[in-house]
Structure 1
Amino acid sequence: MLPRRALLAVFAVGVLLTGTTAAGSSPASAVADTQPPTAPTDLTATDLSCSSVTLSWSAATDDTGVAFYDLYHDGQAIGSTTGDVRTVTLGVVPGARWGFYVNARDAAGNVSQASRTVSVSVPFCSPDTTAPSVPAGLTGEAVGTAVTLRWVPSTDDVAVTGYEVWRDGTRAGLLTGSAADPPATTFTDAGLAAETTYAYTLVARDAQGNTSPPSDAVQVRTGGSCAAVCGITQVTTERDLPWGLVQLPDGTVLYAQRDLFTIQAMAPDGSGKHSIGRVPDAAGTNGEGGVLGLAVSPEFATDHWLYVYHTTAADNRIVRFQYDGTLRTASREILVTGIPRNKYHNGGRLRFGPDGKLYAAAGDGQDPDQAQDLSNLGGKVLRLNPDGTVPDDNPFPGSFVWSYGHRNPQGLAFDSQGRLWEQEFGNNVMDETNLVVKGGNYGWPACEGTVGDACATPGYVAPVQTYPVAAASCSGLAIVRDVLYLACLRGARLYRAVIDGDRLTGIQQYYVGTYGRLRTVEPAVDGNLWLTTSTGGDKDSIPRNSNERIFKIALGDG
């Protein structure tokens, strides 16, 4: 991938077809300034067809002049125009539902906050009434209390875009894809009853909702014991978005309500749920900002500190509060300020390491160049002392920066060797699981995953594992007994992988499409896992407009 300043054409989702120049507008010459432009206004979408849409917006203002406008949909960069172009026609994908928005950028690289979002539902080019063929060759194999199914791909006159997996007449999963990226033809159904026979069938579907007849059934009998993921239990529901989640030594579960800016407490069985307080100065971004990560002091039994990563009207920041059953807002200490914020790419995860330091995942604030700027906290993993001071052994003196070159990291966890693993959103090609090293440069924006000639740049740290964005977009990362778990949003699945030296092996996928978008996975005090969903309302800042669930996952010893 080219550096962001070189992006003058739309990539990945379409082609820049036309550009209309606004009279009297021209980019200013580069000057040393730190003032970002105002957000573009009046974004509209017109002339929507099955292949294109036209976006127009009003000019942003800047003290030195707007040099570029950067176009996005749903957090993914799709291209740029020069500052004198404010009407563009973009290629779109039939049947897609996208939220477009625009940022302004000056010649010095300062990036505005985002415009409002304009949502479009792209029509199909022509009706399709032909259903896919019946899935064939379905087989099943049990390993302990998990069943793995495999089958031969179905065919369709346009494209097969999904498979519904049915277990004893109830849908157990949904695998999705597209014409360019067909859905998988394997599925693992975990946490089943021991020594029990289950009947499975498949249904293929296309983009316009045509479904095949069900496949022939296959019966599979489970074994006597569980080896890995042993079962899942719904603990509670939540109308707001549960983001950060921690469990206290006494078993109490705390979780952040992202858009309400409050923190909830409950017993491990979901009973007694109540608010412990609202986070002062928290604000949304009409996107993915709000009250995000939580962490509990390693000395919580004696110091009672609860750490919070949250968005304000000006930045993202890390604060801490005394907690004794109530969030003592008067005790608030603001530890880190100035982490860039924007509609998307706010990062947000917190994790204490075995060294007693607090680590934080900070997004690039939709300004990719900040990820390489060591004077900026965006696009970094940060490390701080519990009192908010900079550790003496950080790699860059006087700086919280521990590693850099990250796009939008959200997963952090430590293994038994004390090594930090990080999960990061790619733009539109690859997501990454990284093994973070002190002072490491992970390559963004010149490199996304392992794509691009720049990935061979000396000094860039390569990811341990990459995933297609459509099968991942993972936010949460947890490690239990040196097994790594990822909770994925767009991919709507839970990955499990064994840490073997510097590699991840035995990668398995669970709950694919079963519960929708998955946000957070966290270790439980009893050695199992907590898991939260993020199925609706997670691309706006509207409180209580979702319908989420919090689960407890039982793990085996394998």
Structure 2
Amino acid sequence: MQAKILPFGFALILFISCFQIVGQKPQKVEDIYLPDGDKVEVKVWVQDLEIPWSLVFLPDGRALVSERPGRIRLIENGKLVPEPYMIINVKHIGEGGLMGLAVHPDFPNKPYIYAMYTYESDGKIFNRVIRIKDEGRKGVFDKVIIDSILGARFHNGGRIKFGPDKMLYITTGEIFKGELAQDLNSLNGKILRLTPDGEIPSDNPFPNSPIYSYGHRNPQGLAWHPETGDLFESEHGPSGEYGRFGHDEINIIVKGGNYGWPKVIGAPGEKEYIDPIVVWKDATPPSGMTFYKGDLFVATLRSEALIRIKLQRSGKSYKVTKIERWFAFDKRRGKYGRLRDVVVGPDGNLYVLTSNRDGRGNPQPGDDKIYQIIFKK
């Protein structure tokens, strides 16, 4: 019998996958579906947006939302202002474009907004974070905070947030080049940490480096536990690389920690890597997230659910006690479509952004929208 010769690409995937360590899901609970949520009322707050990515509230009552094609939009008194707050020349390709927004922790004394976006230079794609000066109804470019992060059609990361330490945290994807996530000379596949002026903090884990943690595939959510200050992160698992699929994650980020991609997926318990606390083996991909009344809320894309994760603390560790998929009928269908971000508003309600016009969703009339989620007493 003549031996079959595998195509090179398939043979390479098979070869690499043999050396990739695959673990189980760490949580002991199964997801529960709640198509109506849990004692909530959902209202449309703003509509007619184009692929909104990030929402931030300012202390004077204004709000800003980024649209991936390159517009920052202003919301005043719950109304979308027709004229953009700022237009940024972005490379709107695939998952790239205008992504995360953040507000200076000392705003308005330091009236700065931060934005992360994809751009093209000399035929190459990059990501950068800039600082914008707020001038009421418009924003004006102030300075570049960090630049030359490799970009691509997919896996740009894009979430930026200030932590309780008043440092700026930035998530970067590995642009479908898994080896970059393990390379400490690369800014890709990382969580970065900088001062509000773009300097490297002296207590970062690696000398003269903005890298805070590494071994990430495509991290898109950051949230700090309100009591402990621990940093939680959401991350997209493989979508075909090395013959693997699913395995989306929620991680607790430790300074200098290696989260394993592409060498491990799931929670295999390997000493040199840090396991996630949640793994969804079916593609969920989680995006923006926030803590609300002690629970972690996660906006998800393909699974079209707002996920609530209930946690129990024991010393320095956490146990997942319950996972609820709000507004979802099953693993692929939800009431409001793809969800990109969830934030707590100044009124104590949750606000959720849809992403139905991103080429992967099914737009409904008025999409994209920001929904207000009001908790009934």
| TM-score of the superposed pair, with normalisation by structure 2 | 0.83
- Aligned position for 1:519: 340
- Aligned position for 1:423: 234
User: 1 CA distance for matches of 2:6 and 2:350?
Assistant: 50
User: 2 CA distance for matches of 1:70 and 1:342?
Assistant: 23
The answer to whether the 8 Å contact 1:429/1:448 transfers is no
- Deviation, 1:365, is 1.2
**1:531 and 2:359 aligned:** no
Structure 2 CA distance for partners of 1:353 and 1:378, relative to 1, 3 Å: same
Quick one: which amino acid aligns to residue 119 of structure 2? T
Structure 2 CA distance for partners of 1:395 and 1:538, relative to 1, 3 Å: farther
Within a 5 Å distance, the mapping from 1:215-364 to structure 2 comes to 228-259=38-69, 261-279=70-88, 281-285=89-93, 287-313=94-120, 314-329=125-140, 331-364=141-174
User: 1 CA distance for matches of 2:135 and 2:324?
Assistant: 40
The answer to whether the 8 Å contact 2:31/2:322 transfers is no
- Aligned position for 1:89: none
- Deviation, 1:466, is 0.9
Q: Deviations over 1:341-377 (max 9, x none)?
A: 1110000001110100011111111111000001111
- Deviation, 1:326, is 3.9
**1:412 and 2:228 aligned:** no
Within a 5 Å distance, the mapping from 1:128-143 to structure 2 comes to none
- Aligned position for 1:483: 295
Q: Deviations over 1:72-115 (max 9, x none)?
A: xxxxxx9599xxxxxxxxxxxxxxxxxxxxxxxxxxxxxxxxxx
- Deviation, 1:538, is 4.0
User: 1 CA distance for matches of 2:92 and 2:31?
Assistant: 39
SS in 2 for 1:443: coil
Select which of 378, 381, 384 maps to 2:191.
Answer: 381
The answer to whether the 8 Å contact 2:31/2:323 transfers is no
Identity of aligned residues (%): 35
User: 2 CA distance for matches of 1:479 and 1:70?
Assistant: 42
User: 1 CA distance for matches of 2:57 and 2:246?
Assistant: 34
- Deviation, 1:468, is 2.6
- Aligned position for 1:503: 319
Quick one: which amino acid aligns to residue 376 of structure 1? S
User: 2 CA distance for matches of 1:511 and 1:445?
Assistant: 32
The answer to whether the 8 Å contact 1:478/1:486 transfers is yes
SS in 2 for 1:381: strand
The answer to whether the 8 Å contact 2:205/2:256 transfers is yes
| Higher RCO by CA contacts (8 Å cutoff, separation 6 or greater) | 2
User: 2 CA distance for matches of 1:80 and 1:546?
Assistant: 45
- Aligned position for 1:492: 304
May I ask how many residue pairs the two structures share in their alignment? 337
Structure 1's unaligned 5+ residue stretches are 1-15, 20-67, 72-77, 82-183, 192-227
- Deviation, 1:499, is 2.9
- Deviation, 1:517, is 1.1
- Aligned position for 1:136: none
- Aligned position for 1:190: 36
Structure 2 CA distance for partners of 1:473 and 1:185, relative to 1, 3 Å: closer
Quick one: which amino acid aligns to residue 34 of structure 2? T
- Aligned position for 2:254: 437
The answer to whether the 8 Å contact 1:267/1:273 transfers is no
Select which of 282, 305, 310 maps to 1:469.
Answer: 282
Structure label with greater radius of gyration: 1
Structure 2 CA distance for partners of 1:283 and 1:514, relative to 1, 3 Å: same
Select which of 202, 205, 211 maps to 1:401.
Answer: 211
Structure 2 CA distance for partners of 1:448 and 1:556, relative to 1, 3 Å: farther
Quick one: which amino acid aligns to residue 302 of structure 2? R
- Deviation, 1:480, is 1.7
User: 2 CA distance for matches of 1:328 and 1:551?
Assistant: 25
Within a 5 Å distance, the mapping from 1:29-44 to structure 2 comes to none
Q: Deviations over 1:500-557 (max 9, x none)?
A: 22223222111001111111111111222110111233469xxxx9931110112368
The answer to whether the 8 Å contact 1:245/1:294 transfers is yes
SS in 2 for 1:485: strand
User: 2 CA distance for matches of 1:293 and 1:307?
Assistant: 8
Structure 2 CA distance for partners of 1:522 and 1:273, relative to 1, 3 Å: farther
Structure 2 CA distance for partners of 1:276 and 1:503, relative to 1, 3 Å: same
The answer to whether the 8 Å contact 2:285/2:302 transfers is yes
Structure 2 CA distance for partners of 1:399 and 1:430, relative to 1, 3 Å: same
- Deviation, 1:463, is 0.2
- Deviation, 1:340, is 1.8
- Deviation, 1:403, is 0.4
Quick one: which amino acid aligns to residue 270 of structure 1? K
- Deviation, 1:239, is 4.3
The answer to whether the 8 Å contact 2:130/2:143 transfers is yes
